[in-house]
Chain A
Amino acid sequence: MPTGTISPLVALLWVLNVVLDTGGQLAFKAAAGDPAAGDGLARWLYMARRPWIWLGIASYVIEFLIWIAFLSLLPLSEAILLGSINIVAIMVAGRFLFGEKLTRMRVAGILLVTLGVAIVGVGG
């Protein structure tokens, strides 16, 4: 079992995981939040004809495999902590793309999670 050294491959998988997770979430948000989509079955058909939902699904499928590769190379206890950065990435991306509010409490939360991930990444 490798003991927590972050190799370039591990770092690459970590970055890809964050990008795909955030990209997937944003794509789902774009698909689900489209006000022109209507209701019920028509809404699903409308979403299926547009790229967003497929982009989201594709991101998640690839992320699934990337995440397994990442977990194979690190102890699980460390990997699950490093994976917490996804929470931060999604909130920051939501702020820029959908204008979601970043209140003081949210900023505090984002900074604490980032600090925690940094401690694990540097000290792990």
Chain B
Amino acid sequence: MKRGWFYLIGFLVLVLFDSVGAISFKYAGMHALPVEANTAWLLRLFGKPWIYGAVIGYIGAFFTWMTLLKHAPIGPAFAASHLEVVSVMLLSIWLFNEPLRLPHVLGAIAIVAGIVCLGLAESREHVPEEDEA
């Protein structure tokens, strides 16, 4: 059962890093407004700490993903790695007071269902190499 906990905690850490990355990206953009295609915008962007939070989130997610992939079956791993869509949605409602509107809820349900299908498709193709230890 040790393995189950390893996956569960690993996936939670992955979703956490992905969410921190996405939220830091948003804050980075908000603090550098207005968006311009010039160096002034880049200086505003890199002059605030948020963008470094985004980089840390991405690097953390990358190494967590690589660690998980060493052992975890690819299907569930793939699905879990994209389910930050849900956590980021919920966090943005809370942090940025974004309204939760019907098209977003319906769209999110279809996207999550699609991600689950893709995860199942991956699992089926990689069955033989699963769980040898």
Contacts and interface: CB of A to CB of B under 8 A. Distances in A.
Interface of A: 1, 3-4, 65, 67-69, 71-73, 75-78, 80-81, 84, 87, 91, 101, 103, 105-106, 108-120, 122-124
B114 interface: yes
A110 B122 CA distance: 13
A76 B84 CA distance: 12
Interface string B93-115: 10010111111101111111111
A104 to B, nearest CB: 8
Contact of B118 (A75, A87, A117): A87
Interface residues of B, number: 47
Contacts of B51: 68
Contacts, number: 135
A65 B28 CA distance: 11
Interface of A is mostly: helix
A73 B101 CA distance: 18
B114 A112 contact: yes
Nearest to B118: A109
Given A1-B96, A72-B29, A124-B107, 12 more contacts: A76-B22, A76-B96, A77-B88, A77-B93, A80-B88, A87-B114, A87-B118, A109-B116, A109-B120, A111-B114, A119-B103, A124-B101
Contacts of B22: 76, 80
